[in-house]
A and B are shown apart, each in its own frame.
Chain A
Amino acid sequence: MEIFATLVSILYQFATNGAFLLLSALGLIVILGMMNIINLAHGELMMMGAYAATIAYHHGLPFLFCPFLAFFVVGAFGALIERTIVCRFYGRELGALVVTWGISLILSQGTLMLFGPFLPSIPIPGGSVGVGQYSFSTYWLVVIALSWALVLGLWALYNRTLFGLQARAVMQNAAMAKALGVDINVIYMLTFALGAGLAGFSGALFAPTVSIAPFMGQQFVAPAFITVVVGGATNVIAGAVGSSLLLSLVKTPIGFAMGAFLGTVALLLAALVIIRLMPNGLSAVIQRWLDRRNRFA
């Protein structure tokens, strides 16, 4: 029973670490995959989602609806900054990097000025469930399930809807898609809004587990970027899922045996090795395998 409980605990930690990486990275990878823009304001968009959820919760909205509200609020904000600022930098990645960093500074210091150093936090909903000597938070189990549902939803969006078809076309060859009648400005705006909305959704999901402070986005930026770089932008969903699974697979056993700090060190070393072996990320390898399978089916 003890061995079984320990195995369940390790599985739970693996799923939690993976869900944390996946949710942190999803918004970033959607934007990177479409427009090749590295959105340095990603952490602040997550912070914005957490703030939206916290303020709505403290005004009486049940927590069940708060992440969805955050999705739409931050998505709308993303569409706004895309239309006014980011669209001028397509094709100029370095300029986009600097301008999104500027947006992140404005957002974080602006939140500090408007809302003060911290907001009262949301209590973690749900209780716990025990297996042997270990116990697990039901909220995290729900978050893990939600992250899988999110990945499935994104896959359906990209492969079964008209928007998804047009988006994939624009990702492959923007000029040809434009020539075939796809309005690429609308696709870019919707994609940026989707990426921002996903960041806000993730931020709202993490909100009960962290302190609500203006600089809280910073703790997600590093894991998000590492996951995105290891995943690569060739295939958004395969990259995000594969990367978060692989990195979590490395982090969990070492973290369990030797402490969370060394787990993070192992994650960074693994990222180093993977990028050296696969410079375009995991998704490039997965995409090549998929193409080869389709070609010779």
Chain B
Amino acid sequence: MNDRLQDEDRSALESTSTMSPLPAADRRGVLKWVGAAGAGLVGGLGPVYLRDFEYTRSVQAATDSPVKIGFIEDESGNLSVYGLQKLHAAQLAVKEINEGKTLKGAPAIGAGGLGAVGSAAAHPPTISKEGVDLNVVGDGGPKSVNEVMFDEDADVLIDSGDKGILGREASLVSVDGQSNNALWQQLARRLIQQDKVDVLVAGFASAEREAIRPIVDQFKQLYFYTNQYEGGVADANTFCTGPVCEQQVIPVVQYMVEKFGPRGYTIAADYNFGQLTAAWTKAFAPLVGGQIIGEEFIPLSVSEFSQVIARIQQAKPDWVMTLLVGQNHHNYYPQAAAAGLKYPMASTVNMAQGYEHKRFKPPSLANMHNAIQYQLEVPTARNRAFVKRWMTMFPKDEYIGEMAQNTYFTIHLYAKAARIAGTTDQPTVKKALELGWSIEAPEGSVFLEPGTHHCAHYIRLAVCDENHDVKFVREWPSIQAWWLQRLGVNLVRHPEYKQYTPDEDPYFKMFLKKS
């Protein structure tokens, strides 16, 4: 009897042994693992793939392989208020390219205009914030002054003589970054390595651009960054078609110091863009007679501003420089208005990109100044035509912001460069883009500088009044992006792959002592 028990004990021990290497060798265990793996796959990849399934499939099914324009923007999350506009801009541009249209422009010296004599009013007209018809609410006064003026083309969209790009259809492969940097890197890799896009147009926040730029450089992908940013990117693969600090910070600070006084207070988003632009503002203000008396950097996730408002009230500046990014930060404006904060504000980001003057009730954005290169209300004939085309394609859209317009003309610029190059082979197109391009965008004439890969823009100073109507009080027809030139960047002769910061520019320190 003892022996039998021992045998039973031994077999019982063996069957319940926990030393087996396989986690679960029975049917239930296998089913559990397969189920978990399947759920993980669907959960992890579903949201990324499902929305763009048709695009990728249609691209693969096409026999005459289309030109793939890779596109990553934030269609959801904190930065979606900007990303959706840029997506619509890309869709409009691709549609126009496929219809055989292009913007005027060439590797030449620009469209030029016809000088003519005319009468001008004493003050600029005020453009209503209501709707998208660019209605004039304040006429600017009786017309009295006689000056020489420029005659502008009614529209700059002309026939390209081509169907699509080089006879091939232009197809937009767009994905949603969800305002999440890690997802951006995954999506950039997918577009470059798997979809093998011919050009990548992506990036809103500087953090997103810097997250994917190493990947772009690794694969030598032609990359357009169409957003306004803090400046300094010197990268042979990257073309930055948005405005930079010297084109926006300097004009607006100059104007604020002239109009309101020398003491400024900066509140900025706490990431690379906010920090670097605030550094620019602080370095530059003394050179125009101003001074930044205080700075505060606010993390992107903060949306409660009572302490920030109290500190501004304690500092008592003449004007406030607001460099706030994302929907969380936009709540500063209604909160400040509700708290009775009445300082004039200057910005290089707000109003023209996130259209706060339409989303928040007056007078949240009263007295907001921004040196913009584009916003919906620009009162020129070519812009009216552009807005009309846009609203025909997207009737439910509320606004066309700065970055959306940049995306639009950048994609047209790519198409033109590919036609001149005669191919979509990326190194050749990069060389074609360095020819010294002038393109007629809705904002005006834009020049892509060969050595720095940045654009000279038409800058206007927009002011928002208490009713949130907009007027443009000053214009600079062309401001170059000269900072990289001063640093000696010439990507044609010496290719580089980095971003310069104000610390690397000795001029900033040299003249900072002046204050």
A interface residues with partner B (beta carbon < 8 Å): 6, 9-10, 12-13, 16-17, 20, 109, 112, 117-118, 120-121, 123-124, 126-130, 133-140, 208-211, 213-216, 218-219, 252, 255-256, 259-261, 263-264
Are the CB atoms of A211 and B341 closer together than 8 Å?
no
Give the distance in Å from the alpha carbon of A112 to the alpha carbon of B179 in the complex. 13
User: B286 on the interface (CB 8 Å rule)?
Assistant: no
Interface size, B (range): 35 or more
Are the CB atoms of B306 and A13 closer together than 8 Å?
yes
Are the CB atoms of A260 and B76 closer together than 8 Å?
no
Which residues of B from 262 to 302 have beta carbons under 8 Å from A?
A: 270, 296-299, 301-302
Are the CB atoms of A134 and B303 closer together than 8 Å?
no
- Chain A hits for B76, CB < 8 A: 112, 117, 214
- Given A16-B306, A123-B361, A209-B303, CB of A118 within 8 Å of CB of B81: yes
Q: List 19 A-B contacts (CB under 8 A).
A: A6-B314, A13-B306, A17-B306, A117-B76, A117-B81, A118-B81, A127-B340, A128-B340, A137-B335, A137-B338, A210-B328, A213-B77, A213-B80, A214-B76, A219-B302, A256-B307, A259-B297, A260-B296, A260-B298
> A153 CB to closest chain B CB, in angstroms?
24
Interface centre among A112, A117, A140 (most CB of B within 10 A): A117
Are the CB atoms of A261 and B297 closer together than 8 Å?
yes
A9: which of B270, B296, B313 is its contact (CB, 8 Å)? Answer: B313
- Given A13-B310, A117-B84, CB of A219 within 8 Å of CB of B303: yes
Are the CB atoms of A17 and B331 closer together than 8 Å?
no
Are the CB atoms of A211 and B339 closer together than 8 Å?
no
> A212 CB to closest chain B CB, in angstroms?
9
Which residues of B from 396 to 443 have beta carbons under 8 Å from A?
A: none
Which residues of B from 80 to 115 have beta carbons under 8 Å from A?
A: 80-81, 84
Specify the chain B residue showing the minimal Cβ separation from A138. Answer: B338
Specify the chain B residue showing the minimal Cβ separation from A16. Answer: B306
- Given A17-B307, A20-B304, A139-B338, CB of A123 within 8 Å of CB of B360: yes
User: B359 on the interface (CB 8 Å rule)?
Assistant: yes
- Chain B hits for A209, CB < 8 A: 303-304, 331, 334-335
Give the distance in Å from the alpha carbon of A37 to the alpha carbon of B350 in the complex. 42
- Chain B hits for A135, CB < 8 A: 313, 339-341
User: B498 on the interface (CB 8 Å rule)?
Assistant: no
User: B47 on the interface (CB 8 Å rule)?
Assistant: yes
Are the CB atoms of B311 and A128 closer together than 8 Å?
no
Are the CB atoms of B340 and A13 closer together than 8 Å?
no
User: B120 on the interface (CB 8 Å rule)?
Assistant: no
Are the CB atoms of B334 and A124 closer together than 8 Å?
yes
Q: 0/1 per residue, B40-53, Cβ < 8 Å to A?
A: 00000001000000
Are the CB atoms of A260 and B302 closer together than 8 Å?
yes
Are the CB atoms of B303 and A210 closer together than 8 Å?
yes
Known: A256-B310, A259-B297, A263-B307. 14 other contacts (CB 8 A): A6-B314, A9-B310, A117-B77, A118-B327, A128-B340, A133-B316, A136-B340, A137-B335, A138-B338, A209-B304, A211-B330, A213-B77, A219-B303, A219-B328
User: B230 on the interface (CB 8 Å rule)?
Assistant: no
Q: 0/1 per residue, B309-326, Cβ < 8 Å to A?
A: 011011010000000000
6 closest Cβ pairs, A-B complex: A128-B340, A135-B340, A117-B80, A211-B327, A137-B338, A124-B338
- Chain B hits for A16, CB < 8 A: 306
> B301 CB to closest chain A CB, in angstroms?
6
> B83 CB to closest chain A CB, in angstroms?
8
- Given A112-B76, A210-B331, CB of A13 within 8 Å of CB of B314: no
> B460 CB to closest chain A CB, in angstroms?
28
Are the CB atoms of B311 and A259 closer together than 8 Å?
yes
Specify the chain A residue showing the minimal Cβ separation from B342. Answer: A135
User: B75 on the interface (CB 8 Å rule)?
Assistant: yes
> B307 CB to closest chain A CB, in angstroms?
5
User: B480 on the interface (CB 8 Å rule)?
Assistant: no
A126: which of B78, B305, B338, B360 is its contact (CB, 8 Å)? Answer: B338
> A32 CB to closest chain B CB, in angstroms?
24
Give the distance in Å from the alpha carbon of A141 to the alpha carbon of B113 in the complex. 58
Interface centre among A12, A16, A134, A264 (most CB of B within 10 A): A134
Give the distance in Å from the alpha carbon of A134 to the alpha carbon of B340 in the complex. 9
- Chain B hits for A264, CB < 8 A: 299
Give the distance in Å from the alpha carbon of A109 to the alpha carbon of B296 in the complex. 33
- Chain B hits for A118, CB < 8 A: 80-81, 327
Give the distance in Å from the alpha carbon of A136 to the alpha carbon of B361 in the complex. 18
Interface centre among A17, A261, A264 (most CB of B within 10 A): A261
User: B183 on the interface (CB 8 Å rule)?
Assistant: no
Give the distance in Å from the alpha carbon of A213 to the alpha carbon of B359 in the complex. 14
User: B136 on the interface (CB 8 Å rule)?
Assistant: no
Are the CB atoms of B313 and A134 closer together than 8 Å?
yes
> A196 CB to closest chain B CB, in angstroms?
22
Give the distance in Å from the alpha carbon of A260 to the alpha carbon of B301 in the complex. 12
Are the CB atoms of A208 and B80 closer together than 8 Å?
no
> B95 CB to closest chain A CB, in angstroms?
23
User: B491 on the interface (CB 8 Å rule)?
Assistant: no
User: B308 on the interface (CB 8 Å rule)?
Assistant: yes
Are the CB atoms of B339 and A137 closer together than 8 Å?
yes
> A119 CB to closest chain B CB, in angstroms?
11
> A109 CB to closest chain B CB, in angstroms?
7
> B319 CB to closest chain A CB, in angstroms?
16
Give the distance in Å from the alpha carbon of A11 to the alpha carbon of B47 in the complex. 46
Give the distance in Å from the alpha carbon of A112 to the alpha carbon of B296 in the complex. 32
- Given A117-B75, A137-B338, CB of A256 within 8 Å of CB of B311: yes
- Chain B hits for A127, CB < 8 A: 338, 340
Which residues of B from 155 to 200 have beta carbons under 8 Å from A?
A: none
Give the distance in Å from the alpha carbon of A117 to the alpha carbon of B83 in the complex. 10
Are the CB atoms of B303 and A13 closer together than 8 Å?
no
Specify the chain B residue showing the minimal Cβ separation from A117. Answer: B80
